[in-house]
């Protein structure tokens, strides 16, 4: 599995769909879920994203915005006009003790006007475990990708179809949002160029891609620089030089970082023994793995596992109800 697919596997739209909003100005939506990622696709109309630090980003028809959590943020049609009190909505169904039934809105489609000038689809993504954290570190606080308007027309049509059918509507919207998230992030990484993370740049490099794919497919194998170079069909010296230039670090440094990241996920999210985790990430024995892990993470594998267990006990309920929008009274 390639790195992006692996990282996206930790974030899904299961049961966390805000769904299809149709709005007429003035309006504002406050996203208060503290979700790791929130995605908003503007199908018609426009708005302004206002982050917690005051950063503003305009979005219009065809734009898909991904906002990195966990800080709350707002989307407003015209934040500069104090003389037009907006219809306000708050999306906060990941927080404890929040009523998300939205009796006055109802259904998978909501808003203040069924014929409103602005239509959008939004989803707050829940994280399953810790695998997503490396992806979040590679993203800016907000990114915006502009899509073809034909894609927006298709999305709105699919959302309207989901709203008209009770059977399977939630599953359909979940899959739509997952598809849109993957496409948006791939497009953004492709356009990021030198600002994209090294593992993504490497997958696009004709020399490095075969070796990276082989490593990520078989991370438990005892990889050496020579073995990776053989996967790419080039000399060891050429491979090492090319790898460092594109990825910003030597091959073995990258392999170790990936193995430590994977080990941290397995320690936090599974009950595998330390010996089994060592084997899974390419170490011959638990002792060598534990020494390497402590050197790179500043604590032993067992200490990190204990710390993650304490965090899980004090974390809010991770199974919230289906996400809905509620009107601010």
CA distances from 6 to 3, 29, 45 (A): 5, 32, 34
Strands in 73-76's sheet, in edge-to-edge order, are 56-60, 46-50, 73-76, 27-31, 87-91, 326-327
- Walk along the chain (329 residues) and give the pLDDT tens digit of each residue: 667 777 776 666 655 555 667 888 788 888 887 888 888 888 888 999 999 998 999 999 889 899 998 888 999 887 666 566 667 777 665 554 444 433 333 345 666 677 778 888 887 777 666 667 777 887 889 999 887 666 656 666 666 666 565 666 667 777 777 777 888 888 888 887 777 777 788 888 999 999 998 998 888 898 999 999 999 999 999 999 999 999 889 999 999 998 998 898 899 888 999 999 999 999 989 999 999 999 999 999 999 998 877 665 545 444 333 334 444 43
Residue 106 has a pLDDT of 38
């Amino acid at each position: 599995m390639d790195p992006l697919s692996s990282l996206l596997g930790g974030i899904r739209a299961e049961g966390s769909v805000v769904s299809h909003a149709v709005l007429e100005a003035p309006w504002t939506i406050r996203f208060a879920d503290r979700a790791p990622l929130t995605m908003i696709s503007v199908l018609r109309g426009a708005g302004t994203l206002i982050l917690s630090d005051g950063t503003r980003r305009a979005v219009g028809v065809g734009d898909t915005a991904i906002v990195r959590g966990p800080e709350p943020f707002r989307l407003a049609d015209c934040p500069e006009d104090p003389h037009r009190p907006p219809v306000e909505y708050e999306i906060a169904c990941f927080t404890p003790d929040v009523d998300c039934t939205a009796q006055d809105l109802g259904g998978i489609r909501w808003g203040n006007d069924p014929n409103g000038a602005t239509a959008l689809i939004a989803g707050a993504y829940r994280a399953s475990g810790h695998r997503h954290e490396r992806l979040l570190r590679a993203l800016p606080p907000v990114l915006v990708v502009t899509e073809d308007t034909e894609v927006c027309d298709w999305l709105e049509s699919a959302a309207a179809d989901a709203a008209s059918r009770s059977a399977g509507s939630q599953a359909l919207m979940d899959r739509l949002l997952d598809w849109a998230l993957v496409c948006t992030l791939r497009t953004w990484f492709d356009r990021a160029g030198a600002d994209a993370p090294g593992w993504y740049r490497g997958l696009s490099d004709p020399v490095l891609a075969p070796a990276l794919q082989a490593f990520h497919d078989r991370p438990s194998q005892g990889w050496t620089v020579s073995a990776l170079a053989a996967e790419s069909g080039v000399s060891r010296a050429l491979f090492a030089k090319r790898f460092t230039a594109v990825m910003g670090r030597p091959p073995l440094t990258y392999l170790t970082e990936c193995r430590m990241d994977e080990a941290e996920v397995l320690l936090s999210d599974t009950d595998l023994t330390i010996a089994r985790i060592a084997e899974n990430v390419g170490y011959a024995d638990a002792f060598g793995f534990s020494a390497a892990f402590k050197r790179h993470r500043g604590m032993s594998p067992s200490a990190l596992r204990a710390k993650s267990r304490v965090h899980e006990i004090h974390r809010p309920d991770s199974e919230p109800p289906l996400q809905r929008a509620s009107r601010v009274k």
